[in-house]
Structure 1
């Protein structure tokens, strides 16, 4: 029964299908619970076929995490046409909406990769760096100096925001607008502290 659909998929389609199944798995389970056997069963293919496309379990995990991370980054890409303040507000609202809609996946990414493969952790860290850079661009547009203190503060604030979104939206189901208002206040405080720093 599985050979017929397999023959209709190109290699690119088959690989994309396996990744999509893995991303769907993240919605309900931590990444470290996804075994090759589990993925093969869900896809209706052999273990050998999965190793053909990904070489190793680590290769599977990296592809899945990259896809999930890129979905979040795409959903929260800043709208360049907005002024800086509005851009930050709009981006935070869309991130909150993404987290509410994909809470399991977001939780698996943030909470589940800490003990995993260093390369997988690096993929998630890349998104933190990009989000910090997006904030840096907005605040330098607003006249803040690009200093080491500001860069450190924004990077730390991104990590703080991830935990806040998990706690308030995924766990407690707090209203998105209330969460974003709180995050904006903490962001202003962090930026103000960075401006007063002597480095």
Structure 2
């Protein structure tokens, strides 16, 4: 009886397979437990092959966290068919869901980036930059003035979102929907503080609640 031929993966496919296995492992273990040996066993490869692709255990962990942050950014990518308000709501829901799926990794990124890990800190900074750019671009397109208040307020709000997620993962008692509602409402409160003129603020709110086809979100 002949054995079926094993599918030979390209180097890119093999590396992606190893990262997928490491991410699956990260759903059950802390980042410190994601070792070359445990990931190799999860992926069904030898530790030597893993070191061939990643060089070291530290590089492997960094690659895992980088892959996770890339997936996070992809998951909150705005849907252009929605209003800006809808994009915010869906993006926050996706952010919460991704964090809930990989809570250990999210907490590891927050912890390591504040504890001197330059590479991890750069990942966290990049995610914040992308999200801040998306939000600022849409607010300005809706008529919000480009002021220092807005430039400071949006990154500060993203810090609030991160800390709220940390508290929620620690057992805040809020449901998933209650958390999404809190984050969304806090964003609108920020807009109220950064756009002080009532008439201008009302116009901005109206525009961000209208989809490209002109339909308005329900109040």
Q: Normalization by structure 2: what TM-score?
A: 0.74
Q: Deviations over 1:3-58 (max 9, x none)?
A: x9987332222211211122122223332332223323333433332221112233
> Does residue 176 in structure 1 map to residue 176 in structure 2?
yes
**In 2: Cα distance, 1:33 partner to 1:108 partner:** 12
Which residue of the partner structure matches residue 121 of structure 1? 121
Aligned pairs for 1:132-143 (under 5 A) are 132-143=132-143
**In 2: Cα distance, 1:108 partner to 1:12 partner:** 26
Is contact 2:31–2:105 with CA below 8 Å preserved after alignment? no
Count of aligned residue pairs for this structure pair: 193
> Does residue 29 in structure 1 map to residue 29 in structure 2?
yes
Is contact 2:112–2:121 with CA below 8 Å preserved after alignment? no
Which residue of the partner structure matches residue 156 of structure 1? 156
Unaligned runs of 5+ in 2: 197-219
Which residue of the partner structure matches residue 191 of structure 2? 191
| Aligned-residue RMSD, C-alpha | 2.7
SS in 2 for 1:8: coil
Q: Deviations over 1:110-155 (max 9, x none)?
A: 3455436311221122111111111112221232112333122211
Is contact 1:6–1:14 with CA below 8 Å preserved after alignment? no
SS in 1 for 2:174: coil
Larger gyration radius, structure 1 or structure 2: 2
> Does residue 48 in structure 1 map to residue 48 in structure 2?
yes
Which residue of the partner structure matches residue 65 of structure 2? 65
**In 1: Cα distance, 2:111 partner to 2:6 partner:** 34
Distance 1:103 1:6, change over 3 A: farther
In terms of mean alpha carbon deviation, does 40-49 or 107-116 score higher? Answer: 107-116
Is contact 1:92–1:180 with CA below 8 Å preserved after alignment? yes
Q: Normalization by structure 1: what TM-score?
A: 0.80
More helix per residue: 1
